[in-house]
Amino acid sequence: MLSKILKHRKNIRQYMRYMRQSLTVKQQYNASIQISHLACNYTLIRKAKNIAVFLPFDGEINTYPFILKLWLNNQKVFLPIINSVHNKTLLFAHFTSKSILYCNQYKIFEPYFHTQDIISTSDLDVIIVPLVAFDKTGARLGMGGGFYDICLKDWRKKNILPVGFAYNFQLVHNIPKQYWDISLPVILTPDQISFFGS
């Protein structure tokens, strides 16, 4: 049974990654502008002071237009960094227009940072979460590393709002969940904001 679930999850990942990577530059750009507009008009994001945002990788939604809007609104942006000391955990570093980026071991951009640039996860108001697929219950399928599942384990206690960013086609009928999977209360696509009972 477990092997069937894992195989199904793997198949979803492969198909959705193929779909993302097949998008034209224009399609990616249009989606990023639409989702940025929706996000910045969503009250809980608009009123947030500290927002963690991923940088696009592997055909993910381009978050740069959204980040620019946050800066213009004088909101602080933080980028995820894979913690080299505690495996599978994320740190979040302040990101500005002057930040210098480098490619980590997964080919994802991270900022060079000093200790004072790191914010406690509990001090974040919103975490924008990447995903490979999601379903009508808010269940999220990521790339398989488990970083965000660990990071978001206590999001209710910490009073953080996790918000998924996805393309419309990333919605699937059902994601076979594992016990460690964290569902999302809110997911934005270029067309709409979806709320779930997580």
DSSP-derived secondary structure for 72-89: HTT-EEEEEEE-SSSTT-
Q: How far is 104 from 109, CA to CA, in rounded Å?
A: 6
144 is in an annotated binding site: yes
50 is an annotated ligand-binding site residue:
no
160 annotated among ligand-binding-site residues: no
138 is in an annotated binding site: no
10 belongs to an annotated ligand binding site:
yes
146 assigned ligand-binding residue? yes
User: Is 140 marked as a binding-site residue?
Assistant: yes
Tell whether residue 141 is among the known ligand binding residues.
yes
H/E/C letters for each residue in 132-167? CEECCCCCEECCCCCHHHHHCCCCCCCCCEEEEECC
End-to-end C-alpha distance for the chain, whole angstroms: 26
Residue 143 annotated as binding? yes
Tell me whether residue 46 is annotated as binding.
no
The reply to whether 134 sits in an annotated binding site is no
55 marked as part of a ligand binding site: yes
The dihedral through the CA atoms of 75, 80, 85, 88 has a sign that is positive
Is 60 annotated in some ligand binding site? yes
Residue type, 172: V
Q: Tell whether 102 is in a known binding site.
A: no
Residue numbers in the known binding site are: 9-13, 55, 60, 140-148
Residue numbers in the known binding site for substrate are: 55, 60
Residue numbers in the known binding site for ATP are: 9-13, 140-148
